Amino acid sequence: MNSQEAQQKIATLTNELNQHNYNYYVLDNPTISDYEFDKLLEELMDLEKRFPEFCLPTSPSQRVGGEVTKSFAAVTHKYPMLSLSNSYNEEDLVEFDRRVKEGLQLNTSDLFSANEVEYVCELKFDGLSIGLTYVDGKLVQAVTRGDGVQGDDVTTNAKTIKSIPLQLHGNFPKEFEIRGEIFLPKKVFENINKEREQNNEALLANPRNASSGTMKMQDSAVVAKRKLDCFLYFLLGNDVPYKNHFENLQAAKSWGFKISKDSTLCIGINEVINYIHYWDKERHSLPFEIDGIVIKVNQYNQQLQLGFTAKSPRWAIAYKFKAEQVSTLLENISYQVGRTGAITPVANLKPILLAGTTVKRASLHNADIIEKLDVRIGDTVFVEKGGEIIPKIIAVDFTKRNSDSEKTVYISNCPECNSFLQRKEGEALHYCLNENNCPPQVKGKIEHFVGRKAMNIDSLGAETIDQLYNAGLIKNIADLYDLKKEQLLPLERMAEKSAQNLIEGVEESKKIPFERVLFAIGIRHVGETTAKKMARNVKSLNKLITLTKEQLLEIDEVGETIAESVLNFFADTENKLLVERLAKAGLNFELSEEQLQNASEKLKGLSIVISGVFTKHSRDEYKTMIEQHGGKNSGSISGKTNYVLAGENMGPEKLKKAQSLGVKLLNEEEFLNLIS
């Protein structure tokens, strides 16, 4: 086969296989067998290997994976990914309908009036929210929800999902974003757990967490094997074809997107409630998890008229199904030790199917809950999933209790290191105080230290930390900076490349700024925000160590508990030695010259609220600037607010409140001039 023939054959096979994918995943009408599809794909991949210059970016071979992503870049959403307000009963829905009609200036006196609103009802898929951007019909970026303002770029992994089209067909806009939910089908989830159980590996908790964890895997070939799926449900862009949500969904389906056939256009809230009644009974027959129904106003002009609150659109709401309850046998109670030494009692149950997944364990929270429920080993207990995810025991069936059952006595010693447990007055939890030698606490501290918001050492996951700890290579966070490549190579599953990545990741972490290092070292009660405040105030760790309790209390957001915790941490000899080793290793324990130069007190004592969308800097960058110049970021407008940094599409409620309180609005230029 010559080059010209190969190029033509590759193009033909690519188009043919993409059409078969569309038939299977979107139309649910396959025209060839899986075997025939696989043979065609093998032929294409063989040709692409021999003639790589003709491989198309839309080739289905892209879905096999193989590309490794060391880190996932943060991306600011062009359109913020807001969360939805929740409802749990029909009264909430009727009230939502009333607010919608009132906002649209329609008649609200009669539920069945001629002024009924068009709503689109959709299944609320239980997975990972994703935003897909297409340019000229090609997938160019896939971004997770993140915090709603920015998410992670997971494009490489998204390309492995066969229901996400790489190339569209039909009359689609030049550029647009479509949002949806990546999920793990129930059958796939069960098969993965069966395989993990056979290999003595920890079972995946639930399909939602499994979906999220899979999309953050570094090896896209592993992602491809997980067989994730994706429904799309929301179109965004300047030139979408129709003026309403439902018709645009049907258009998106014709371009190649997988749109749920169960999305329905309802006229009025009564039809919405009937739709909910149907799916409340039928949801467990679905091949994937749902946890409710999403209701959206259909017409875009009405959505625009209704607008947004600070956190959610006024034109949409999520109805959450009530948690399913089952009864089962409590076989025994075990106790887990957390990173901070907190003890969590866990009920080990006779396996039971609950809301589509097999449940074997449930949290008992603390000694007070055990006492309140009077739960005992051998009891028949009622279990439900809080938010359809976390199983919890809600009651005991006392009619089935054995006459010889014994009252549960809470443990007095740590199950890991046998240290005596302590429960402080006013606290619900028991604690193991052996924080420097209790294995789960030590490993938990290291996991916290290497986390994304702390030192961000990607190559150090929980399994690797466990392996290093068990091999005696690390006993605390400072030991990470003494690791040598030759120490790692003899370890199981630690190849040359993995060892090199780990060493490089540890070395790269030395560039992390002081405020994140302060958060990473794990002072109890010192969270991410408090660490920032303290770092900006004291400028260096040497200064922080010298502060008295009274001086600590002068720092914004530092109260009695945090002040005492900081003093106790640095009074501990082992912690002092640990910090000295980290400083010697080259970690940043003071603000950089650049940070010091950019800092000022121009906003000292000022409370500033940020609202809207910005062009010159991201919201997070503006928050950092406010803190650098001594100001305080606030989430809501009140009489104490000094300024509102207002971008485009500022929430109408915030604007109204700012005007009523006489709070001055600053645009980007005015704010930057204020701190320049």
At the fourth CATH level, which superfamily is domain 435-511?
A: 5' to 3' exonuclease, C-terminal subdomain (1.10.150.20)
H helix or E strand, kind and range, residue 411: none
Q: Is 485 marked active-site?
A: no
CATH of 3-64, one of 1.20.1260.10, 1.10.287.610, 1.10.10.10, 3.40.50.720: 1.10.287.610
Q: Mean pLDDT, to the nearest integer, of 495-509?
A: 92
Helical axes 560-571 vs 573-585, angle rounded to 10°: 80
pLDDT digits (tens, 9 = 90+) for 81-126: 888 988 888 999 999 999 999 999 886 555 445 578 999 999 999 8
* Ramachandran assignment for 118, one of left (phi > 0), alpha (psi -120 to 50 degrees), beta (any other): beta
**620-649 as b/e: b if 16+ CB within 10 A:** eebbbbbbbbbbbbbeebeeebbbbbbbee
Distance CA 435, CA 422 (A): 13
Contact 536, 514 (CB under 8 A): no
Instruction: Give the tens place of pLDDT for each residue, 13-31.
Output: 988 888 887 787 667 677 8
Alpha helical stretches, state H, 586-648: 593-598, 619-628
- The one catalytic residue in 70, 78, 101, 124 is 124
The CATH classification number of 100-320 equals 3.30.470.30
Q: Which residues are CB-neighbours of 452 under 8 A, at least 6 positions away?
A: none
Homologous superfamily assigned to 514-597? 5' to 3' exonuclease, C-terminal subdomain (1.10.150.20)
Q: Over the stretch 417-450, which tens digit does the pLDDT of each residue have?
A: 999 999 988 788 999 999 889 999 999 999 999 9
List the domain boundaries for the chain.
3-64, 100-320, 325-422, 435-511, 514-597, 600-675
Rounded to whole angstroms, the Cα distance separating 257 from 264 reads 17
Mean pLDDT of 593-614: 78
Element (H, E) at 582: helix 573-585
pLDDT of amino acid 388: 45
The average pLDDT across 189-200 equals 75
- CATH for 325-422 is 2.40.50.140
Asked if domains 3-64 and 100-320 share a fold, the reply is no
Q: Give yes or no for residue 635 having a pLDDT over 50.
A: yes
Q: Tell me the pLDDT band of 356, cut-offs 50, 70 and 90.
A: low
| Residue 496: partners with Cβ closer than 8 Å, 6 or more residues away | 489
Question: In the chain, what percentage of residues exceed pLDDT 70?
Answer: 94
> What does the pLDDT read at residue 653?
74
For domain 600-675, which CATH number applies: 3.10.450.50, 3.40.50.20, 3.30.465.10, 3.40.50.10190? 3.40.50.10190
Amino acid letter at 547? L
Question: Does the pLDDT value for residue 282 go beyond 80?
Answer: yes
